[in-house]
C-alpha cells in the first residue's frame, strides 16, 4: 500500500527525482573514491616519504570532497522539496475527499481520526519520502560499491563481509516485523487521544456544569497512558537496532584488523589497503545503518499509508450527477415522494415513505417527538445524505440530478446546531454570498433580530468571531446563522429548529420579519415549540419516521391525536384553541 501510494504521488516529480538520484550517485561515488586515494597517499606518499605525491593527491582528495559536498547539498535540497510537495499533495487529496463525504462517511471515520489522518499520518509518509531521498537512494549504491572495491583490495579478507551483511539483515528484519503491529496500535491510540481531547475542549462548559473535571482528567490520563505504553514498547524495539548494528560493526572491525595484520605481516597486503578496507567496511556498515534507520520508519509509514488510503478509497454516498441540471424552470417548488432513509447496518429506517409538498409563498412546518426523523428529513433536501428510497425533487428535478452549486444557491439550510467559523461577523455572513454589500449584511441582521447586538460590538461587522462561535451566546449564534442564510437569498429556506435558543418575544419578532422577507420563497420549519409553527400553512406530523398527519393547526387539533398530545404538552386547551 505504501509503495503504491508513493508511486502515485511521486509520478509528477520524475524530473527532480531523476536529478536527485544522479546527484546522490555522484556524491556516493566520490565517497567511495576517497578511501582509495587515501590508500595511495599512505602507500606511495607516506611510506616512501614522497611529499609531492602527498600534496598532489591531497589536492585531488580536497576536490573530490568538495564535489561530494556540493552534490550532497543539491540532493538534500531536491529531496526536501519533493518530499514536501508529496506531503502537500497528499493532504490536499485527503482534504478534498473528506469535503466530498456526506454526513454518513464523516460519522463512520469520526472527526478526530480524519484530523489525525490528514496531519500526523501524512507527515509520517512525508518523512519517509524525505529519508528515502536523502539516505535510502545512496545506501544501496554505497553498499554495493563498497563491497566491489573491498573485493578489489583483498578477496580473502572480504570473507568477513559475507558473515557481517546477512547477520545485520536478519536482525533488522526481525525487529521490523515486531514493530509493525505496534505502530498500527500507536496510530489508533493517537486517534483516541485526539478524540478525548477534542471532546473535553468542545464540551468544557458541560464538564464544568456537572463538575466532572476529575473524571475527564482520569479519562484523558488513561488514553494518554495507553499511547505512552504502546510508544514505549515500540521504542524498546527501536532501541535494539543501534546496539545490534554497532556490536556487529565493532566485531567485524576487530576481525578485519586481526586478519589484515597477519596478511600485512605475510607481505600479502599493504598498510594503505588495510586502511582503505576498513574505510569501505565502515561505509558498507553505514549504508546498512542508513537502511536500518529507514526500516525503523517503514512500519509506521506503512500503517499510516493504509489509513490514508482508506480515506482516499472511500467513495461518498452522495455522488455528483454525471449530467447535472444547471437551470431550474420553476422556483422554490419542493416535493418529497415516498422518501426513506436507513443508516448502513441499521435494523430500522429513520424515515419511511415520507410525503411532503412545500410551495413558494407558503410556510410548511414539520413537528414530531425527539428522534422522529425531522432533522434527517431536512438533510435530504440539500443532499447532506441521499434518500435510500423514494426521491426528493426541487422544481420538479431530483436533487441528485441538480448541479451542486445550483442546489446550494437554491436551498438555504439553517442547521439545528448553528456553526460559525473563526473570523469576523462579516466573513461569516458572506459565507453563502461573498459579494454581499455591507448594506445587505445589516439588512439580514435586522431581519434576524441581530442588528442591535452586532451594533453594540466594538467593531460592528468586523468584530471577531471565535471558532464555532463560542464567544457569542447560543441565541446570538442562531440569529447570526439565520442572517447568513438570508444573505444567501435562496428560493427554499430550511429552518431546522433554528429558534430554540430564542426567547418568546425575539422568536415572535423574528418570525414576523421572516414572513415579510420570505413572502415569495418556500419556507420549511422544523420546530419543537408549537408557538413557532401553529400559524404555518401546512403542518407535517412525524412519528417514528412516518407521516401521521398533514394539515393546519386547527384541523390537526381536531382529528390527529399525536399532534394534539404534542400541543397539549406545551399549551392549555384554551391556548391551543
Q: What is the pLDDT of residues 281-290, one digit of tens each?
A: 777 777 777 7
Cell representation of residue 516: 415579510
Q: What crossing angle do the helices spanning 159-202 and 271-312 adopt, rounded to 10°?
A: 30
pLDDT of residue 575: 63
Question: Counting beta carbons within 10 angstroms of the beta carbon of residue 280, is it exposed (0 to 12), middle (13 to 18) or buried (19 or more)?
Answer: buried
**Can you tell me whether residue 340 is helix, strand or coil?**
strand
pLDDT of residue 89: 92
Residue 267 has pLDDT above 80, yes or no: no
Cell representation of residue 186: 500507536
Residue 177 has pLDDT above 80, yes or no: no
Q: What crossing angle do the helices spanning 241-265 and 159-202 adopt, rounded to 10°?
A: 160
Q: What is the mean pLDDT of residues 299-309?
A: 85
C-alpha 271/C-alpha 277 separation (Å) is 10
Eight-class DSSP state of 513: H
C-alpha 503/C-alpha 499 separation (Å) is 9
Cell representation of residue 302: 506503512
* Comparison of pLDDT for 202 and 220, the residue scoring more: 220
Eight-class DSSP state of 316: P
The rounded percent of the chain whose pLDDT value lies above 70 is 98
Q: What is the CA angle 429-434-435, rounded to 5?
A: 115
β-bridge mates for residue 325, sequence order: 402
Phi, psi (degrees; rounded to nearest 5) at 521: -100, 170
Q: What is the mean pLDDT of residues 338-366?
A: 85
Q: What is the mean pLDDT of residues 199-214?
A: 78
Region of residue 244 (phi > 0: left; psi between -120 and 50: alpha; otherwise: beta): alpha
H helical segments located in 266-367: 271-312
Picking from 140-154, 182-196, 392-406, 537-551, which range would have the lowest pLDDT averaged per residue?
A: 140-154
Q: What is the mean pLDDT of residues 189-194?
A: 83
pLDDT band at 88 (very low <50, low <70, confident <90, very high): very high
Distance of CA 418 to the CA centre of its chain: 23
Please report, for residues 131, 183, 469, 530, the alpha-carbon distance to residue 301 in angstroms, rounded to integers and kept in the order given.
12, 9, 37, 55
pLDDT band at 85 (very low <50, low <70, confident <90, very high): very high
Residue 300 has pLDDT above 80, yes or no: no
C-alpha 395/C-alpha 196 separation (Å) is 44
Q: What is the mean pLDDT of residues 150-158?
A: 73
Picking from 28-37, 216-225, 413-422, which range would have the lowest pLDDT averaged per residue?
A: 28-37
Q: Which residue has the cell 536482525?
A: 171
Beta-carbon count within 10 A of 573 CB: 10
Please report, for residues 147, 284, 294, 536, the alpha-carbon distance to residue 259 in angstroms, rounded to integers and kept in the order given.
17, 18, 32, 99
**Can you tell me whether residue 500 is helix, strand or coil?**
coil
pLDDT of residue 548: 87
C-alpha 464/C-alpha 461 separation (Å) is 9
C-alpha 480/C-alpha 440 separation (Å) is 14
466-497 pLDDT tens trace: 888 888 888 888 889 999 999 988 899 998 88
pLDDT of residue 53: 73
C-alpha 214/C-alpha 207 separation (Å) is 10
pLDDT of residue 577: 64
- Radius of gyration for the chain, computed over Cα atoms and rounded to the nearest angstrom: 35
Distance in angstroms between the alpha carbons of the first and the last residue of the chain: 67
pLDDT band at 576 (very low <50, low <70, confident <90, very high): low
Question: Counting beta carbons within 10 angstroms of the beta carbon of residue 375, is it exposed (0 to 12), middle (13 to 18) or buried (19 or more)?
Answer: middle
Distance of CA 329 to the CA centre of its chain: 39
Cell representation of residue 171: 536482525
pLDDT of residue 165: 72
Q: What is the CA angle 504-506-512, rounded to 5?
A: 100
Beta strands across the sheet bearing 546-551:
411-414, 492-496, 522-526, 363-368, 538-543, 546-551
pTM to 2 decimal places: 0.70
Cell representation of residue 324: 447535472
Strands 334-341 and 464-465: unpaired
Q: What is the mean pLDDT of residues 163-192?
A: 78
User: Which is it for the CA torsion 88, 89, 94, 98, positive or negative?
Assistant: positive
32-69 pLDDT tens trace: 878 777 777 776 777 667 777 778 878 888 888 898 88
Q: Which residue has the cell 514536501?
A: 84
379-389 pLDDT tens trace: 888 888 888 88
C-alpha 501/C-alpha 468 separation (Å) is 16
β-bridge mates for residue 411, sequence order: 492
pLDDT of residue 28: 84
pLDDT of residue 38: 77
CB 358 within 8 A of CB 364: yes
Amino acid at each position: 500500500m505504501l509503495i503504491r501510494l508513493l508511486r502515485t504521488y511521486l509520478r509528477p516529480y520524475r524530473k527532480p527525482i531523476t536529478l536527485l538520484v544522479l546527484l546522490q550517485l555522484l556524491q556516493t561515488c566520490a565517497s567511495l573514491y576517497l578511501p582509495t586515494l587515501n590508500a595511495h597517499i599512505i602507500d606511495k606518499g607516506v611510506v616512501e616519504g614522497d611529499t609531492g605525491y602527498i600534496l598532489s593527491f591531497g589536492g585531488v582528495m580536497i576536490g573530490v570532497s568538495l564535489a561530494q559536498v556540493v552534490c550532497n547539498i543539491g540532493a538534500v535540497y531536491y529531496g526536501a522539496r519533493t518530499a514536501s510537495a508529496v506531503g502537500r499533495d497528499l493532504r490536499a487529496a485527503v482534504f478534498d475527499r473528506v469535503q466530498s463525504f456526506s454526513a454518513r462517511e464523516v460519522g463512520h471515520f469520526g472527526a478526530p481520526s480524519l484530523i489525525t489522518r490528514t496531519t500526523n499520518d501524512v507527515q509520517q509518509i512525508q518523512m519517509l519520502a524525505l529519508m528515502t531521498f536523502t539516505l535510502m537512494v545512496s545506501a544501496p549504491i554505497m553498499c554495493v560499491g563498497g563491497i566491489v572495491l573491498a573485493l578489489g583490495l583483498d578477496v580473502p579478507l572480504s570473507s568477513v563481509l559475507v558473515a557481517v551483511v546477512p547477520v545485520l539483515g536478519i536482525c533488522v528484519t526481525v525487529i521490523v516485523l515486531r514493530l509493525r503491529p505496534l505502530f498500527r496500535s500507536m496510530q489508533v491510540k493517537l486517534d483516541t487521544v485526539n478524540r478525548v481531547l477534542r471532546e473535553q475542549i468542545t464540551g468544557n462548559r458541560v464538564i464544568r456544569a456537572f463538575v466532572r473535571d476529575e473524571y475527564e482528567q482520569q479519562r484523558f490520563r488513561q488514553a494518554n497512558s495507553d499511547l505512552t505504553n504502546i510508544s514505549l514498547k515500540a521504542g524498546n524495539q527501536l532501541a535494539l537496532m543501534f546496539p545490534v548494528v554497532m556490536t556487529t560493526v565493532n566485531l567485524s572491525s576487530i576481525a578485519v584488523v586481526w586478519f589484515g595484520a597477519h596478511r600485512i605481516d605475510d607481505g600479502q597486503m599493504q598498510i594503505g589497503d588495510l586502511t582503505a578496507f576498513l574505510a569501505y567496511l565502515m561505509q558498507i556498515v553505514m549504508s546498512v545503518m542508513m537502511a536500518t534507520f529507514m526500516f525503523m520508519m517503514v512500519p509506521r509509514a506503512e500503517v499510516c499509508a493504509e489509513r490514508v488510503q482508506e480515506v482516499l478509497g472511500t467513495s461518498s454516498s452522495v455522488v455528483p450527477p454525471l449530467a447535472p441540471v444547471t437551470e431550474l424552470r420553476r422556483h422554490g417548488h419542493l416535493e418529497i415522494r415516498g422518501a426513506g432513509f436507513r443508516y448502513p447496518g441499521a435494523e430500522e429506517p429513520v424515515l419511511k415513505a415520507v410525503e411532503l409538498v412545500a410551495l413558494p409563498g407558503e410556510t410548511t412546518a414539520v413537528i414530531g417527538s425527539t428522534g422522529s426523523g425531522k432533522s434527517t428529513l431536512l438533510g435530504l433536501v440539500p443532499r447532506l445524505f441521499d434518500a435510500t428510497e423514494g426521491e426528493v425533487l426541487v422544481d420538479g428535478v431530483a436533487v441528485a440530478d441538480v448541479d451542486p452549486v445550483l442546489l446550494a444557491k437554491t436551498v438555504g439550510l439553517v442547521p439545528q446546531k448553528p456553526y460559525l467559523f473563526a473570523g469576523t461577523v462579516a466573513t461569516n455572513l458572506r459565507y453563502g454570498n461573498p459579494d454581499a454589500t455591507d448594506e445587505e449584511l445589516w439588512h439580514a441582521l435586522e431581519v434576524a433580530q441581530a442588528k442591535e447586538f452586532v451594533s453594540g460590538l466594538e467593531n460592528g461587522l468586523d468584530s471577531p468571531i471565535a471558532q464555532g462561535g463560542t464567544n457569542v451566546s447560543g441565541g446570538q449564534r442562531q440569529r447570526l446563522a439565520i442572517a447568513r442564510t438570508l444573505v444567501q437569498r435562496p428560493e427554499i429556506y430550511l429552518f431546522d429548529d433554528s429558534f430554540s435558543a430564542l426567547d418568546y418575544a425575539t422568536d415572535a419578532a423574528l418570525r414576523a420579519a421572516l414572513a415579510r422577507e420570505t413572502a415569495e420563497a418556500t419556507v420549511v420549519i422544523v420546530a419543537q415549540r408549537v408557538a413557532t409553527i401553529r400559524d404555518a400553512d401546512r403542518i407535517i406530523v412525524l412519528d417514528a419516521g412516518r407521516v401521521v398527519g398533514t394539515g393546519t393547526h386547527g384541523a390537526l387539533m381536531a382529528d390527529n391525536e399525536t399532534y394534539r398530545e404534542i400541543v397539549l404538552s406545551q399549551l392549555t386547551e384554551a391556548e391551543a384553541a
